[in-house]
Amino acid sequence: MTEQTIAAIATAVGEAGIGIVRLSGKEAFDIAEKMFVTKRGDSPKSLPGYSARYGRVVDPYQGRTIDEAILLVMRGPYSYTGEDVVEFQCHGGVVVVQKILETALRLGARMAEPGEFTKRAFLNGRLDLSQAEAVIDVVRSRTEESLAVAVDQLEGSLSKRISAIREQLYDLVVRVEAIIDYPEDDIPELEVDEMAEVIRTVIGELERLIATADQGKVLREGLKAVITGKPNVGKSSLLNRLLDEQRALVTDIPGTTRDTIEEVLNLRGIPLRLIDTAGIRESDDVVERLGVERAVQLWGEADLIIHVMDGSVPLSSEDREILARTRDKLRVVVINKSDLPRVWSLDDLDARDLGEAPVVEMSLLEGELTPLVDAVVGLVSKGGIRESTASQAIVTRARHKTALEEAKADLENALETLSMGLPLDLISVGLQGALEHLGEITGETVRENIIDRIFAQFCIGK
Amino acid sequence: MSKNYDVIVVGAGHAGCEAAYAAAKLGCRTLLLTINLSTIALMPCNPAIGGPAAKSHLVREIDALGGLMGRIIDNSFLNIRLLNESRGPAVRALRAQADKVLYQSLMTQALESAPNLDVRQGIVTEILVEDGAVQGVKTKHGVEFTAPAVILATGTFLRGVLVVGQLRYPGGRAGEPGVNELSENLESLGIELSRFQSATPPRLHADSVDYEKLTEQPGSPVPLRFSFDSDHDDRPQIPCWYTRTTPKTIEVIRDNLHHSPIQSGSVVGEGPRFCPSIDRKVMRFPDKLDHQVFLEPEGRYTKELYCLGLTTAMPEYVQEEIVRSIPGLEHAKIMRPGYAVEYDYIPPSQMTLSLESRVVSGLFTAGQINGTSGYEEAAAQGIIAGINAAHKVLGKEPVILRRSEAYIGVLVDDLVTKGTTEPYRMMTSRAEYRLLLRVDNADLRLRPLGYKLGLVGEEQFARFNDKRRLINETINWLNVTRVNPTAEVRAKLQELGSGDLKKSVSLADLLQRPELSFADLKFFADCPELPGEVIEQVEISVKYAGYVERQLRQVAEFQRLEDVKIPDNIDYMKIHGLRTEARERLTAVRPVNLGQAARISGVSPADISVLAVVLKDVDKYVSA
């Protein structure tokens, strides 16, 4: 197969001290030959795999040096993608890195699609599916904690956990199947209570794993947060203050719709995807810009809502309505402009609308941001998100969560079948279904295993 | 006499009989060749049909398609029993003790009187092949028979070696010669062979057994039948008997383990795990202090008793000591000693899903030659090979049953796709959709196909249609007939141990209650008189509707992978993402779709993901 050579900037734009441009494909070496001059004077094309050279990246069209850099050479199939790979490691800076990439593109490389290096690694057999998924997680990790979880997954703590759960189920299934397939052999009967207990235990363990899935999602994708409030209460100030505080980690990612963009920031290890409704900074009125329906939809999608109110002007029906409509959400309430006289108190709000949301009174113009950050982190931590991340299996992939939920549903079915006094062949449907769903995560086949285990455990045959 | 045929079947065991009958019935001039006309459809091991759950499913499926096995065992059994009755409709199983001589006679009669079919004695030593295609066969006497399709159903006869203790000598079965020439011929054609072994227990004289010490195992008091076409009769049943081994048995075996062919290595090839010899059971499960032994009559007019549970190829004097260590058998006389047989088989991944060789066009195989074990497994392959050999000759599409449609489909797909590392036996655990593949609905699944093929006659099919119509009408009636919560109805429900009724429900709703049966519905409505098999179908359909629907959804899901076809000329060596082992296995098996590919051992889920990606852009990977 002939795949075009691809190129991309491998480091985040503007963040790092060095910038890396990576090329992968048949022509990677030819391109390197044309745009890199080694200090030693040897030819990049002739370098053995896994070697490095110091030298200059040049623009062959203008004959000018772009930057001093290190050239790293990996030869297929012994490279990450399984193809010929070269990397230019330069001094970083948006302009220089962009310039190197453009030069590679002009020399015949094609801009890589998102994830294409990993896709090639997968297609060339360098990574299996679950590893490829984990690598994507590692690359996309936005904070150290989410990185730790992704690395953990790469090492297989989730599959270890699931294997342990499957083991209990296997013991049960193998007995059921041996009884069914060998009616004339002496295989001890299974008691209903005994089966029910095993099934309940496994359901409990699955539930605990599933509960980690929401934390996993937060760590992998970031907590989706929306700032609400009526016009001129200080939403844009809050946004800018948060962004200022986190300047180094901010990147712009296009939002899911045209009218929003996401700002990603790291609040003490919790990745926050702040949905910037594009116009906040200009008109400051989400509802006016987007319409009530869209605003309500945005609130619905959010994991966290930061509601900003102005303590210096009377409460409006809008404030009450927003609070009422977001009752079931994780919320922090900010009462802004504490530098001005307060004209209303918390008692003026409907206690049910306020619920248990922490309230932070502050001045976004001059006050410290710390109490607000504390409140957000405290709220998220209360859900158990932070403590549980260290060295515990956490479900981060939607695919895994679905498989776990389906396994649980199957077992609940089996339990119900059992309690109705229905026969083994029907009970086994749920049991085997659960095993298969768990196998989807670890990539094991079920049927042959059951049969092998029957023969290993029981003296069958006459 | 003409020596030109459409289909030639080599071997008249359970596979060969069904194959020859099916091919002839489909209109092909068919020749059935066997080493010995007196051993047609012999049961050289356990004289029983059915038993462990899925075997009776296979017999019912063969019968639904129009095969012989079910009808013949119904007319020749000594006793019949229903197993797994309490374990659910999907795994209920029949087991019939055969009068093995009568079984042979009835099968011989059926074949000898079948139109288009010649039955003839002869030892086939060579397959005639030209340009990679079968032309016919040649016998030891030098006679050539021509046909464009040949079915090999040679059982344990290819390079067969019999083993007792340290003694090894050539033979296909006790008292019958093996055939070496055919193995050599197959290898010269480029077909790879491998070795399996199997063994059988000693037979005892019925008058030398002390029945006082045995437990009687009577036949079912309820009339039972395998075939959908058999009538019930009330012939007297002859019981089996039950006893157990003792610590003395284990001692004898331990003292003589050095004589065990398995232990000493005087037998090679894998044996079946589900049918271990008593020596192997003692070795592998040292904590188990006694093992079951069943004594089974072999026929109405013979005194031989089959000794189920005592399979062994130990020297004869050790066999005698083992037998006599068992209660009731202290003075038993051995009539035939147990022995092991070692034989060539064709690792079945060399076949296609129609059971035709990938190497030699027109060469089909069925039964133990494909690495299976058991009369039922053999017969199931026989009917498929017979149909497909005939279809090849007639220029029709091969018949390939799906895994969601029949155990026969599971069997053939497992063999071809996964291969087997031991003699393969069917079990219900091998099927993904056990609730759909029930023993009771084999006719509903397969009879229409049998009729379409021409194996099921008009009269049989009309009877089937009547049954199907009655089932549908009754289910419909149950759904539309309402029961109101009157005082009378509620009292009756309480009396039947069922829950109270609050509002009006359909009869079907009532029948879904686990504690109520169809017979109970007569208290709530005027139930029509129905045949038992219709009531059974109606009860299962209504009671388990939810579970069955769920499996049907799984089938639809499963079918999605099955629907991703893989072009025949795909070059797996060009797909670098596949691991080497996967590339080799895929190249060997050449799966026809992604679902089949996923079932190949040595092909991982990651390989399937790679294939799935590749198949979207498949033109890059096909060979010119």
Cβ contact B135:B145 at 8 Å: no
User: How far, in Å, are A56, A66, A237 from residue A10 at the CA level?
Assistant: 19, 18, 33
Share of chain B above pLDDT 70, in %: 98
**Which residue in B has a C-alpha nearest to residue A430's C-alpha?**
B547
pLDDT of residue A140: 52
Per-residue model confidence as pLDDT tens digits over A25-48:
999 999 999 999 999 989 998 899
In chain B, what residues touch A447 (CB-CB under 8 Å)?
Answer: 429-430, 432
User: Does residue A141 carry a pLDDT above 60?
Assistant: no
**Domain enclosing residue B590, as ranges:** 563-621
Report CB contact under 8 Å: B83, A184. Answer: yes
Q: Report the alpha-carbon angle B229-B235-B240, nearest 5.
A: 105
Residues of chain A with CATH 3.30.1360.120: 6-127
Whether the CB of B54 is below 8 Å from some CB of chain A: the reply is: yes
Architecture of domain A154-215+395-457: Up-down Bundle (1.20)
Residues of chain A with CATH 1.20.120.430: 154-215+395-457
- Residue B549: burial class (beta carbons within 10 Å; 0-12, 13-18, 19+): exposed
Mean pLDDT (chain B, rounded):
93
Per-residue model confidence as pLDDT tens digits over B430-440:
998 999 999 99
**Which residue in A has a C-alpha nearest to residue B310's C-alpha?**
A462
Query: Which of A3, A429, A462 should one mutate to test binding to chain B, selecting the residue with the greatest count of B CBs within 10 A?
Result: A462
Residues in chain B: 624
Tokens of B227: 């075939």
In chain B, what residues touch A428 (CB-CB under 8 Å)?
Answer: 434
Cβ contact B205:B311 at 8 Å: no
Cα A402 to Cα B556: distance, rounded to the nearest angstrom: 19
Per-residue model confidence as pLDDT tens digits over B42-68:
999 999 999 877 999 999 999 999 999
Report CB contact under 8 Å: A129, B605. Answer: yes
Per-residue confidence at A282, pLDDT binned at 50, 70, 90? very low
Task: Locate all alpha helices (DSSP H) within B481-579, ordered by sequence.
Answer: 487-495, 507-511, 532-543, 545-562
pLDDT of residue B356: 98
Tokens of A18: 């060095």
* Crossing angle of helices B442-453 and B458-480, rounded to 10°: 140
Last residue of a domain, one of B342, B363, B396: B342
Report CB contact under 8 Å: B544, A450. Answer: no
Q: Is the dihedral of CA B69, B71, B76, B78 positive or negative?
A: positive
Whether the CB of B553 is below 8 Å from some CB of chain A: the reply is: no
CB atoms < 10 A from the CB of A413, how many? 21
| Domain co-membership, B158 together with B108 | yes
CB under 8 Å to A297, separation ≥6 — which residues? Answer: none
CB under 8 Å to A256, separation ≥6 — which residues? Answer: none
| Domain co-membership, B270 together with B348 | no
CATH number of B297's domain: 2.40.30.260
What is residue B351's three-state secondary structure? strand
Q: Which segment of A354-358, A386-390, A402-406 scores lowest on mean pLDDT?
A: A386-390
Cα A207 to Cα A198: distance, rounded to the nearest angstrom: 14
Report CB contact under 8 Å: B292, A125. Answer: no
DSSP B414: I
Cα A8 to Cα B284: distance, rounded to the nearest angstrom: 60
| Domain co-membership, B38 together with B134 | yes
pLDDT of residue B30: 98
pLDDT of residue B578: 79
Cβ contact B445:B537 at 8 Å: no
| Domain co-membership, B123 together with B254 | no
Rg, C-alpha atoms of chain B: 26
pLDDT of residue A117: 78
Cα A140 to Cα B56: distance, rounded to the nearest angstrom: 56
User: Does residue A280 carry a pLDDT above 50?
Assistant: no
Q: Write the residue in B293, B435, B609 that is nearest to A129 by C-beta.
A: B609
**Which residue in B has a C-alpha nearest to residue A131's C-alpha?**
B606
Tokens of B556: 């639809």
User: Phi then psi for B250, rounded to 5 degrees?
Assistant: -65, -40
In chain A, what residues touch B403 (CB-CB under 8 Å)?
Answer: none
| Domain co-membership, B222 together with B318 | yes
Whether the CB of B274 is below 8 Å from some CB of chain A: the reply is: yes
Nearest to B388 by CA among B455, B475, B478: B455
Architecture of domain A6-127: 2-Layer Sandwich (3.30)
* Beta partners for residue B139, in sequence order: B124
Per-residue model confidence as pLDDT tens digits over B140-181:
999 999 999 999 999 999 999 999 999 999 999 999 999 999
Mean pLDDT (chain A, rounded):
76
| Domain co-membership, B211 together with B177 | no
Q: Which residue has the tokens 């437990």?
A: B215
Per-residue model confidence as pLDDT tens digits over B402-426:
999 999 999 999 999 988 989 999 9
Specify if B617 maps to a domain: yes
Helix (H) or strand (E) holding B525: none
pTM of the complete model: 0.75
CATH number of B481's domain: 1.10.10.1800
Specify if B253 maps to a domain: yes
Residues of A with CB under 8 A from a CB of B: 1, 77, 82, 122-125, 128-130, 177, 179-186, 417, 420-426, 428-429, 433, 443, 447-448, 450-451, 454-455, 459-462
Q: Write the residue in A417, A454, A459 that is nearest to B285 by C-beta.
A: A459
Tokens of A69: 């850099």
CATH number of B606's domain: 1.10.150.570
Cα B136 to Cα B155: distance, rounded to the nearest angstrom: 20
User: Does residue B337 carry a pLDDT above 50?
Assistant: yes
**Residue predicted with more confidence, B284 or B36:** B36
Specify if B556 maps to a domain: no
Number of domains in chain B: 4
Distance from B466 to chain A by nearest Cα, in Å?
Answer: 29
Helix (H) or strand (E) holding A286: helix A286-290
Cα A186 to Cα B454: distance, rounded to the nearest angstrom: 43
| Domain co-membership, B214 together with B152 | no
Q: Which segment of A441-455, B372-386, B475-489, B600-614 scores lowest on mean pLDDT?
A: A441-455
Tokens of B1: 């006499």
Whether the CB of B550 is below 8 Å from some CB of chain A: the reply is: yes
Query: Which of B287, B576, B617 should one mutate to test binding to chain A, selecting the residue with the greatest count of A CBs within 10 A?
Result: B576
pLDDT of residue A398: 65
Cα B50 to Cα B505: distance, rounded to the nearest angstrom: 41
Report CB contact under 8 Å: A423, B86. Answer: yes
Cβ contact B321:B250 at 8 Å: no
pLDDT average, residue stretch A102-128: 76
Query: Which of B415, B427, B549, B611 should one mutate to test binding to chain A, selecting the residue with the greatest count of A CBs within 10 A?
Result: B427
| Domain co-membership, B157 together with B60 | yes
Tokens of B407: 């155990």
User: What residue ranges in A215-362 does DSSP mark as E strands?
Assistant: 223-228, 252-254, 261-267, 270-276, 304-310, 330-336, 359-361
| Domain co-membership, B533 together with B493 | yes
Cα A23 to Cα A73: distance, rounded to the nearest angstrom: 10
Specify if B558 maps to a domain: no
Q: Report the alpha-carbon angle A80-A85-A89, nearest 5.
A: 100
Q: How far is CA B354 from the centre of its chain?
A: 17
Cβ contact B275:B368 at 8 Å: no
In chain B, what residues touch A181 (CB-CB under 8 Å)?
Answer: 52-54, 91, 427-429
* Beta partners for residue B622, in sequence order: B570
pLDDT of residue A252: 37
Whether the CB of B262 is below 8 Å from some CB of chain A: the reply is: no
Q: Write the residue in A124, A181, A420 that is nearest to B53 by C-beta.
A: A181
Nearest to B566 by CA among B601, B596, B607: B596
Cα B103 to Cα B83: distance, rounded to the nearest angstrom: 22
| Domain co-membership, B232 together with B210 | yes
Report CB contact under 8 Å: A462, B621. Answer: no
Helix (H) or strand (E) holding B5: none
Whether the CB of B315 is below 8 Å from some CB of chain A: the reply is: no
pLDDT of residue A61: 84
* Beta partners for residue A128, in sequence order: none
Tokens of B98: 């055969």
Cβ contact B65:B21 at 8 Å: no
Residues of chain A with CATH 3.40.50.300: 221-388
Tokens of A142: 């936005």
| Domain co-membership, B432 together with B465 | no
SS (H, E, C) B116-164: CEEEEECCEEEEEEECCEEEEEEECCCCEEECCEEEECCCCCECCEEEE
* Crossing angle of helices A129-140 and A144-155, rounded to 10°: 170
Cα A212 to Cα A214: distance, rounded to the nearest angstrom: 6
Amino acid occupying residue A332? V
* Crossing angle of helices A94-106 and A28-35, rounded to 10°: 120
Per-residue confidence at A270, pLDDT binned at 50, 70, 90? low
Q: Write the residue in B83, B434, B551 that is nearest to A183 by C-beta.
A: B83
Per-residue model confidence as pLDDT tens digits over B69-83:
999 999 999 999 999
In chain A, what residues touch B312 (CB-CB under 8 Å)?
Answer: none
Tokens of B221: 């008091």
Amino acid occupying residue A373? V
Please report, in angstroms and rounded to a whole number, the separation of the first and last CA atoms in chain A.
Answer: 55
Query: Which of A26, A189, A425, A460 should one mutate to test binding to chain B, selecting the residue with the greatest count of B CBs within 10 A?
Result: A425
User: How far, in Å, are A242, B308, B409, B539 from residue B92 at the CA level?
Assistant: 68, 21, 19, 15
| Domain co-membership, B245 together with B338 | yes
User: Does residue B381 carry a pLDDT above 90?
Assistant: yes
Tokens of A347: 């008692």
- In this complex, how many residue pairs, one in chain A and one in chain B, have their CB atoms less than 8 Å apart? 130
Query: Which of B407, B429, B542, B574 should one mutate to test binding to chain A, selecting the residue with the greatest count of A CBs within 10 A?
Result: B429
Cα A158 to Cα A335: distance, rounded to the nearest angstrom: 42
* Beta partners for residue B365, in sequence order: B152
CB atoms < 10 A from the CB of B132, how many? 13
Q: Is the dihedral of CA A440, A442, A443, A448 positive or negative?
A: negative
The fold adopted by the segment(s) A221-388 is Rossmann fold (3.40.50)
